[in-house]
A and B are shown apart, each in its own frame.
Chain A
Amino acid sequence: MKLTEEENAMLAGKLGEPLRWAIDHQIKVGTAFDAEDMVPVSQSHMMVDPESVGEPGVLFLEQLAANGAHVQIPMITDPRGVDLDYYHPLGQTEEMANLDRRTIAACEQMGILMTNTCINYQTIMSPAIGDNVAFGDTGVVIYSNSVCGARSNFEGGPSALAAGLTGRTPRYGLHLDKHRLATRRFSVEESPQHLTDWGVLGATIGKMAGSYWEVPVIEGINEAPTSDQLKHMGAAMASFGSTPLFHIVGVTPEAHSLASVGGDALAIEKITAQDLQTTLAAYGSTGDPVDVVVFAAPQLSLIEMSELAALCVGKKFSVPLLVCTSPQVYPDAQRMKLVNAIEDAGGKVLQGTCFYNQYAREIGEANGWTHLLSNSAKIVNILGGYGYQPALASMERCIDSAVAGVIV
């Protein structure tokens, strides 16, 4: 890779051990993906939940902080693994909470802003078109690339941290024009309606595309979707397909036309109602038992919180119901009495976490939760590997099922 004078100084250790580690890590990754040089980035976003990081990762962070590591650009964080105001009731241990506390302390020492959110594009600072960023959380990356027109690869925690420290990232993948052109062309018969339908469409396309290096372009969506709809579609597509970018003709900023993303030369693959039904059918059916209902992945926006709260009025849940939102949305939702409405019905709103990275296996075992119901296509995809039998239904059906204790 071509390195600048400053990057060579970093690599030689002249600017301290943290920057030597960071640039060395970036060169290894960049070399594996044929990056020619580094590109400056304006923001970094790190997934650093304690279940993934573990004790060794926390020690690594603490060591970097002790060696004087400090971020050079605004750097923010993905949801945490523990809501420090509510973890004993979930069956989370003091050990888990302490790991989270140590992670927070190390990150804060490095100047990282503990935003603890996977909807930063709705709540913190949405990246602008053409903006090179280093974002973690696949849902954040696919939304930022596709809807905002920003440029980011999936940056895992270590790489997002390296980018925060050096202020740059290797120029490969989605930072390059050639990897942003469509490689698969999908046509839908009609626009999805509720959020779960958007998630199912994203899941279906993700499964069909099936690789980080495929870029779907979608035709047939004739009305501009909302941010929440695109959020659910993108998060599911990224989860099922490892897909980092999609285009919707006439909607997303790089797809003014099919031809502008190179889609006109591709064969059309139709997504039928049967395809969507096949995706949905893998996740539960009416009459199945429900142990817990979860709204998360991605964290709920204020609009989703208001929709959910309205559905909760006058209801009494017979099973636990958990809602994960961001620390930015939570105080507004509290002030507007949306949290009250959900909790009066027997639910619990958590802030700054997301269910699947809250030691999902351990809290499932602690509470005897196997049959989990959610309106998020992303979360039902993830939780199969954590010992759950996840089911998928609309927000409205999830609420009614939480009352009945079975899927209605």
Chain B
Amino acid sequence: MTTFKCHVGIGPTVSGVALVARDNFSARYDLDRINGVFSRPQHALHGQSYKDKILVLNTAKGGVASAWMLHEMKSRGITPKAILFNQANTILMQGAALADLSMCDQFIDGDITTLIKNGQLLEVNPAAGIVTILE
């Protein structure tokens, strides 16, 4: 099995299917949070559902609202299972801490948006800082 080492992240160990893009992320700017889809027309994942996926993206962008929004999304059960970034910003990590959503960044193997392919089944272990491709 292929594993990738990253910085120690936040949240529980989870597994799920990867949804990958070399694009950035903001819950406020990019999502229709009611329907659980990417709603920003310019986003590489526009129109796609993020529910229960493991999002693999470049970095976080935009404002501070995402910190509350991840918690609100989690309470309704319409949320990604985890988010992996090349580099997170402070807001997304803070939001993950409140929501207990799994999040990791800073992969030593390189650009995680090219190392992981769309549709691969992943296990994310934030406490150990390890992401494994299960199949």
Contact = CB atoms under 8 A, between A and B. Distances in A.
A9 B7 CA distance: 28
B97 A33 contact: no
B80 interface: no
Interface stretch (A47-55, A108-116, A124-132, A184-192): A47-55
B87 interface: yes
Contacts of A212: 59-60, 87, 89-90
A33 B39 contact: no
Given A28-B10, A158-B97, A242 B89 contact: yes
Contact of A155 (B29, B60, B64, B75): B64
Given A54-B72, A154-B91, A241 B40 contact: no
A210 B57 CA distance: 13
Interface centre among B7, B65, B87, B93 (most CB of A within 10 A): B65
Contacts of A357: 65
B59 A211 contact: yes
B112 interface: no
Interface in A46-100: 47-49, 51-57, 60
A13 interface: no
B120 interface: no
B90 A52 contact: no
Contacts of A210: 24, 59, 61
Nearest to A389: B41
Interface SS majority for chain B = mixed
A48 B98 CA distance: 14
A53 B68 contact: yes
A137 B67 CA distance: 11
Contact of A137 (B8, B42, B63): B63
A56 B75 contact: yes
B16 interface: no
Nearest to A239: B62
Interface in B81-134: 87-91, 93-95, 97-98, 103
Nearest to A378: B63
Nearest to B40: A385
B56 interface: no
A386 B40 CA distance: 7
Contacts of B95: 156, 158
Contacts of B39: 385-387
B41 A52 contact: no
Given A155-B90, A173-B90, A211-B87, A138 B72 contact: no
B29 A382 contact: yes
Interface of B: 7-10, 24, 26, 28-31, 39-43, 59-69, 71-72, 74-76, 87-91, 93-95, 97-98, 103
By Cβ-Cβ distance, the 7 closest A-B pairs, closest first, are A156-B67, A54-B72, A56-B75, A212-B89, A385-B40, A52-B65, A52-B68
Interface of A: 25, 28-29, 31-33, 47-49, 51-57, 60, 136-138, 153-159, 173, 210-213, 238-242, 357, 381-382, 384-387
21 contacts: A29-B93, A47-B64, A47-B67, A49-B65, A56-B71, A56-B76, A137-B64, A138-B62, A154-B90, A156-B90, A157-B64, A157-B67, A158-B68, A210-B24, A210-B61, A212-B59, A238-B63, A242-B60, A382-B28, A385-B26, A385-B31
Given A56-B72, A242-B60, 4 more contacts: A25-B98, A52-B72, A153-B90, A210-B24
